[in-house]
Amino acid sequence: MKHKLVVIILSVVCCPLSALHAQTPVYLDPSKDIEARVEDALKRMTLAEKIDVIHAQSKFSSAGVKRLGMPDFWTDDGPHGVRPDVLWDEWEQAGQTNDSCVAFPALTCLAATWNPDAAKAYGHALGEEALYRGKGMILGPGVNIYRTPLGGRNFEYMGEDPYLTSQIVVPYVQGLQSCGVASCVKHYCLNNDEEYRHQVNVIISDRALHEIYLPGFEAAVKEGKAWGVMGAYNLYKDEHNCHNQYTLNKILKHDWGFDGVLVSDWGGAHDLDQAVKNGLDMEFGTWTDGLTMGATNAYDNYFLSKQYQKAILEGKYTTKELDEKVRRVLRLFFRTTMNKQRPYGFLCSESHYEVAQRVAAEGIVLLQNEGNVLPIKPQGKKILVVGENAIKMMTVGGGSSSLKAQHEISPLQGLQMRLGAPIDYARGYVGDVSGNYNGVSTGQDLKDDRSPEVLIAEAVEKAKTADYVIIFGGLNKSDYQDCEGHDRKTMDLPYNQDKLITAIAAVNKNTIYVNISGNAVSMPWRKQVPAIVQGWFLGSEAGIGLADVLLGKINPSGHLPFTWYENLGQVGAHSFGEAAFPGIWREGKKVIDEEYKEGIYVGYRWTDKHKLKPTFAFGHGLSYTTFKVSNLKALGTVTADGNMTFMVDVTNTGSIEGSDVVQLYITDVKSSVDRPAKELKAFQKVTLKPGETKSVTLKTDKRALSFWDEASENWKAEPGDFIAQAGDASDRLTCKAKFTLK
């Protein structure tokens, strides 16, 4: 056989050195600081590459710069766990098998711990889960203020008080970002109702804005060093908060020095010129269904996409604004995806479940315990559990924070696990039995066709012979309850629960009601039920956390992060008619004007001002032991920079170890402006053995003595006398000390 010689000629194309340099990954020189690397990368990028990094390319990702070795940037919803992945351009599930997660307790529960250390552990565990899933940013936490108990998204926020919110959000952000995952604090700002969130234009005084609604965001940015902030859907001064010259350009970026990325909420951008000029850095979600709405690839039609590029080429804009946006995005890349020192991530680890369980138990609030019905003494006792919320999975649903949890232990399961035996159960009521959200299913079949009368009769009959009855009721994550997109229509419990609770309490003196919700509910039967517990949405370890508290394995130490009103008549936002909530449509019905007429008087500030007695006060929380807070002293005088130190004694006067939250409130005795009767300015959680006393040091700064002066547009502390009061609830302040600012 003859062999043919085949000659293959390879053509080699020589690249100029400049082209090779342009493709060199920008992280090769770790000695350069981030700002130098940002400027280096910015100079190498083409106009098209700059445009690509400032808008989404899929539901949850934006493009990197492949030519420079920068990977795509992936975000995902939080704030209670890493949301399961969806398809590239659809909201349906991607069908992955490695995107189950640990579901952490809702942020109302985290705030109820009053424990910054718990918040840091929470953020760090969430960051490790996000890292494992390849996420560069978690869309959370939420720090909007609890203005009304009808707010559908209150369960994702941290309560009514700006100081408490600030103290919890900072360690959360620090814990999350220590993993090299950006926190995107939301929803900035004034996002306090859901029903018409795209149309609501908030009218508010500058003072109320700065004293009540901004401090949580300010702390996250200035102290937590958050790398991302998400703009809210609503409007302020007739501009949407995803491109608002006042809230973004002036306050966030200029006044606070925010150097991170302002991300639009999904679909929150509305105008090219405002998006260019008014502070928006990364646009997500407009025309999110790119397959059917307007174009085959809707992402190219985003305001900050092709039309922005075209406008630059036509000379309508220079690249000044674009380069500033890209600098911020590059800074985000170098802090996250381009950070070669990022640690490894973990998913569903034992330590994460430990954090979830710890936060769940520590945030549970013992609201009422007449006759010391709790803790349950189970030996030889017959326990009856009643209610759909004892068995219903709560990690699925509620909007964007819906999760695909690896497991969720229900309250009934938790009690059975801790007692090692079956427990009698009665359904009591039937609520939402769907169990599906966004392609994730609980797998539960909760269908029950029996009438409310039959269900109540069965529960009452069983309650007659039980030693303890534990009713698990409250809300769920269905529309018009605790859920994104809608506000509640009433404070009342749904599904005939009031009738159920009243009927059971009439036949059993050891009735315990556990409320599962992120919001306060009306309790017309409260004086008939000896023990009431606030159980929140507790995530994967819900049942264990609840069982440990109910059985006394863990002494409850949670305190309310919001005022639990008797009814809507006690709520400032509901005291001025529909103009204050939910607002009034303008002529033409394109915008709703909602005026915050209660001003700075939100929550306990309002009930103090009008001498109202709510069901449970802000900061309230009982224990299985008792505490005494005494001997408050102001140590020295206020320093030149406005700092002040106090010391107060806390004594465990009961028979078991427990933890109490010492709270310090400040009153300005005489002021040139109207000020609240008192305001929370310091707190500390302290653990004590029986009979033990600890001296707790509490520190305040000049901001604690100040109000927002609208004339000077700054914080102002006026010389004069102040009173500090200490206790363990806003209505249980047992000692005081006077001091003077000279």
Residues marked active site are found at 265
C-alpha 528/C-alpha 525 separation (Å) is: 5
C-alpha 568/C-alpha 554 separation (Å) is: 34
Q: Which two tokens stand for residue 181?
A: 């995952």
What single-letter DSSP state applies at residue 301? G
SS3 at position 202: strand
Burial of 380 per CB tally in 10 Å (0-12, 13-18, 19+): exposed
C-alpha 719/C-alpha 706 separation (Å) is: 10
- DSSP letters spanning 687-720: EE-TT-EEEEEEEE-GGGG-EEETTTTEEE--SE
Q: Which helix (H) or strand (E) holds 230?
A: strand 228-231
Angle subtended at Cα 627 by Cα 623 and Cα 629, rounded to the nearest 5 degrees: 135
Parallel, antiparallel, or unpaired for β 383-386 and 239-240?
unpaired
C-alpha 76/C-alpha 67 separation (Å) is: 25
Any bridge partners for residue 74, and if so which? 61
- DSSP letters spanning 345-360: --SS-HHHHHHHHHHH
Question: Do the Cβ atoms of 75 and 284 come closer than 8 Å?
Answer: yes
Question: Do the Cβ atoms of 263 and 332 come closer than 8 Å?
Answer: no
Residues 6+ apart with CB under 8 A from 556: 364, 365, 366, 533, 549, 621, 622, 623, 624
Question: Do the Cβ atoms of 470 and 512 come closer than 8 Å?
Answer: yes
Any bridge partners for residue 679, and if so which? 666
The alpha carbon of 277 is separated from its chain's Cα centroid by a whole number of angstroms, namely 29
- CB-hemisphere CA count at 13 Å for 419? 25
213-232 core/surface letters (b: 16 or more CB in 10 A; e: else): bbbbbbbbbeebbbbbbbbb
C-alpha 128/C-alpha 726 separation (Å) is: 38
Cα four-point dihedral sign 617, 621, 627, 632:
negative
Q: Which two tokens stand for residue 662?
A: 């010492």
Q: Which two tokens stand for residue 398?
A: 């509620």
Question: Do the Cβ atoms of 88 and 58 come closer than 8 Å?
Answer: yes
C-alpha 127/C-alpha 589 separation (Å) is: 42
Q: Which two tokens stand for residue 6?
A: 């085949």
Any bridge partners for residue 261, and if so which? 228
Number of Cβ within 10 Å of residue 613's Cβ equals 9
